[in-house]
């Protein structure tokens, strides 16, 4: 009898599976194709903005980060920066070969809290490597 393979669709949280910590060790990192919204303190932790530059108007910071290809969008009203993604939809900080975060220790708060918060809290779009 063949093992059953479960496929999840990152855009359809109803297909996600109940999360447990051990899943991350052999995961395809499908969550890293979700939009990543960050605040200025995340950008400082990530090392793309320094504390001195953080005093500048956020719109000016956003312009520089967009030109550098680090963010795709800036929500002026809520002061939220959305990280850029590659053409395949993956976060620019996800290594395409290892499927691991290249800034794991400095990753944004939303990534640190996933999947406890997000489209379906307590569930993830897990798919085994």
Residues 80-99: tens digit of each pLDDT: 999 999 999 999 999 999 99
Same domain, 40 and 17: no
Same domain, 55 and 24: no
Same domain, 109 and 129: yes
* Alpha-carbon distances, residue 100 vs 47, 69, 94, 104, 126 (angstroms): 18, 20, 6, 8, 14
Same domain, 29 and 40: no
Same domain, 40 and 78: yes
What is the model's pTM?
A: 0.87
- Give the chain's domain count: 2
Tokens of 5: 């393979």
Full domain range(s) for residue 60? 36-84
Same domain, 123 and 60: no
Of 69, 84, 99, the residue at which a domain comes to its end is: 84
Same domain, 118 and 98: yes
Tokens of 39: 């605040």
DSSP characters over 19-88: --GGGGGGB--GGGGS--EE-HHHHHHHTSS-TTGGGS-HHHHHHHHHHTTSEEEEETTTTEEEEPB-TT
What pLDDT digit, counting tens, does each position of 47-93 carry? 999 999 999 999 999 999 999 999 999 999 999 999 999 999 999 99
Same domain, 59 and 77: yes
């Amino acid at each position: 009898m063949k093992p059953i393979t479960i496929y999840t669709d990152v855009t359809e949280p109803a297909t996600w599976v109940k999360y447990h910590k051990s899943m991350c060790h052999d995961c395809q990192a499908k969550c890293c194709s979700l939009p990543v919204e960050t605040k200025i303190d995340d950008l400082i932790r990530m090392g793309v903005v320094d504390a001195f530059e953080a005093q500048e108007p956020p719109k000016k910071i956003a312009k520089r980060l967009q030109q550098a290809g680090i963010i795709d969008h800036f929500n002026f009203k809520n002061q939220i920066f959305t990280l850029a993604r590659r053409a395949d939809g993956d976060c620019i900080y996800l290594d395409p070969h290892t499927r691991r975060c290249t800034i794991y220790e400095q990753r944004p708060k939303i990534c640190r809290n996933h999947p406890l918060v997000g489209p379906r809290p307590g569930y993830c779009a897990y798919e085994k490597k």
